[in-house]
Amino acid sequence: MMTDAKIRLYVDHPLAGGQSVPLDADQALYLFSVMRLQRGDAVLLFNGRDGEWRAEVAEATKRRGVLICRSQTRPLSPSPDLWLLFAPVKKAETVFIVEKAVELGVARLCPVQTARTNADRLNRDRMQANAREAAEQCGATVVPEVEDLLPLERRLADWPAERRILWCNEALAGAATVLAGQARGPWAILIGPEGGFSPAEAARLAAMPQVVQASLGPRILRAETAAVAALTLWQSALGDWA
Amino acid sequence: MMTDAKIRLYVDHPLAGGQSVPLDADQALYLFSVMRLQRGDAVLLFNGRDGEWRAEVAEATKRRGVLICRSQTRPLSPSPDLWLLFAPVKKAETVFIVEKAVELGVARLCPVQTARTNADRLNRDRMQANAREAAEQCGATVVPEVEDLLPLERRLADWPAERRILWCNEALAGAATVLAGQARGPWAILIGPEGGFSPAEAARLAAMPQVVQASLGPRILRAETAAVAALTLWQSALGDWA
């Protein structure tokens, strides 16, 4: 009897019936030394383009291995066209925002630097790896792209006319009410830094026709909680949770 | 000029105009040694019953201190009558669930032991302290009560007839849709353990007239993400976020 595939792995390689997929040294180490898989054991693979495939171990050594794709287990299911703009907070909370955004479903993660953001650099590769790991664990068939850290002003400078921005602040109207009246299409969610936006930033945002302001309730939410709450409400109103 | 009150403190003492509030040794240490407050500096106090008060430091030593309430800054604003039932996960995630539940607004936290929950005991006092700290930081005027860890079966045995339970599982209908049709009143949200409920538990839940099943989207959410997402949707549909 074939082992049930419990492990999901992102690979940067085409997937199709009969396709062989070489593993890199880290993946081989993980599958064969850590997880103790053997020849014939099954793994689920996805690459962000070809859906999810059940593959079997064809070759296994400590340092390398080859998997053979057997059958597609899920079609590609892209995330809604939603970007998350957020001011990076402390490291653990930033990892958390990335992980939860992937679980809840976004297309792109855009860290932005604001007047009151402390971070002036960010390890983009590390964040992309966090996103990949979160996708492996939550059953997603795509991995959101992580952008470089950009100043908010530059991020907004050439903002696409058709992409609306849900700006979560202390506006009077609740996000669910605000979103109920909105059309589907390209969106972004903007979560400010813990210290709030500067008056200049707030004025800049309020002047953009794409910006929709909404509140996340009467309590003060931390940045990472606000990110999860806003993504949840957006997914329920305009995304793929309906 | 009076210092702007930046510190919020939960105290177990009546609050009213002119009322003096003695501090315990931990609180005095925090305010005077860590935060370096001095006589005349202001602090915000709440006790879960009398709203939020601006108080001034009247006496300050390393080990003790007295504050005097000057004016009420916010009335008592109770959380909606919502309980969160959850199977404790790893320690950091459990702290996270408690903290986020307080930020998003619940009346009671009920850890439950299920067939596939690993935890067989829980430090209730520690969890209550986490809830208090979260309330101090998020501007809440009440602190949710933390219950002892109880087996799910016992928790459901004398369940109040009028308290509905939102059971977040892989039901077909999305939570926002399901909640849109529901009446306000006493509710509970039930988040299962990472391994899911046992077939016996699932059958028990499905048979209860108070239980309403709903899905949290097509991706697999971790327990702590599911808790935040479910609380957000409930607050938006039936709570105080509208």
CATH code of B180's domain: 3.40.1280.10
The answer to whether residue B111 is domain-embedded is yes
Taking residues B40-44, report their average pLDDT.
Answer: 96
Residue B13 pLDDT level (bands cut at 50, 70, 90): very high
Residue A117 pLDDT level (bands cut at 50, 70, 90): confident
B125 with B220, same domain: the answer is yes
Determine contact: B111 vs chain A, CB below 8 A.
no
Q: What pLDDT was estimated at residue A2?
A: 44
A164 with A51, same domain: the answer is no
Considering only A77-81, B52-56, B192-196, which range has the smallest mean pLDDT? B192-196
Determine contact: B138 vs chain A, CB below 8 A.
yes
CA-nearest of A164, A169, A151 to A211 is: A164
- Chain B: residue nearest A103 by CA? B221
The answer to whether residue A2 is domain-embedded is no
Residue written as tokens 């067939």? B115
Residue A101 pLDDT level (bands cut at 50, 70, 90): very high
Chain A residues with beta carbon closer than 8 angstroms to that of B242: 174, 176-177
Domain carrying residue B15: 8-74
Residue B2 pLDDT level (bands cut at 50, 70, 90): very low
* Residue of B174, B220, B228 with shortest CB distance to A138: B220
Number of domains in chain A: 2
Cross-chain Cβ contact B218/A235 below 8 Å? no
Chain B residues with beta carbon closer than 8 angstroms to that of A138: 219-222
Q: What pLDDT was estimated at residue A5?
A: 80
A96 with A67, same domain: the answer is no
- Chain B: residue nearest A230 by CA? B232
Do A241 and A103 contact (CB within 8 A), yes or no?
no
CA distance A80 to chain B (A): 12
- Domain end, chosen from A74, A100, A126, is at A74
Choose, out of A6, A228, A234, the residue to mutate when testing the contact with B (most B CBs < 10 Å).
A228
A47 with A92, same domain: the answer is no
Determine contact: A241 vs chain B, CB below 8 A.
yes
Residue B78 has pLDDT above 50, yes or no: yes
Determine contact: A176 vs chain B, CB below 8 A.
yes
Q: What pLDDT was estimated at residue A3?
A: 46
SS3 A235: helix
Residue B9's CB is within 10 A of a number of other CB atoms, namely: 19
B196 with B90, same domain: the answer is yes
- Domain end, chosen from A23, A54, A74, is at A74
Residue B3 pLDDT level (bands cut at 50, 70, 90): very low
Do B214 and A241 contact (CB within 8 A), yes or no?
no
Q: How far apart are CA B131 and CA B97, in angstroms?
A: 10
Q: What pLDDT was estimated at residue A1?
A: 35
Task: State the amino acid at position A220 in one-letter form.
Answer: I
ipTM score here? Answer: 0.85
Chain A residues with beta carbon closer than 8 angstroms to that of B91: none
* Residue of B221, B228, B237 with shortest CB distance to A229: B228
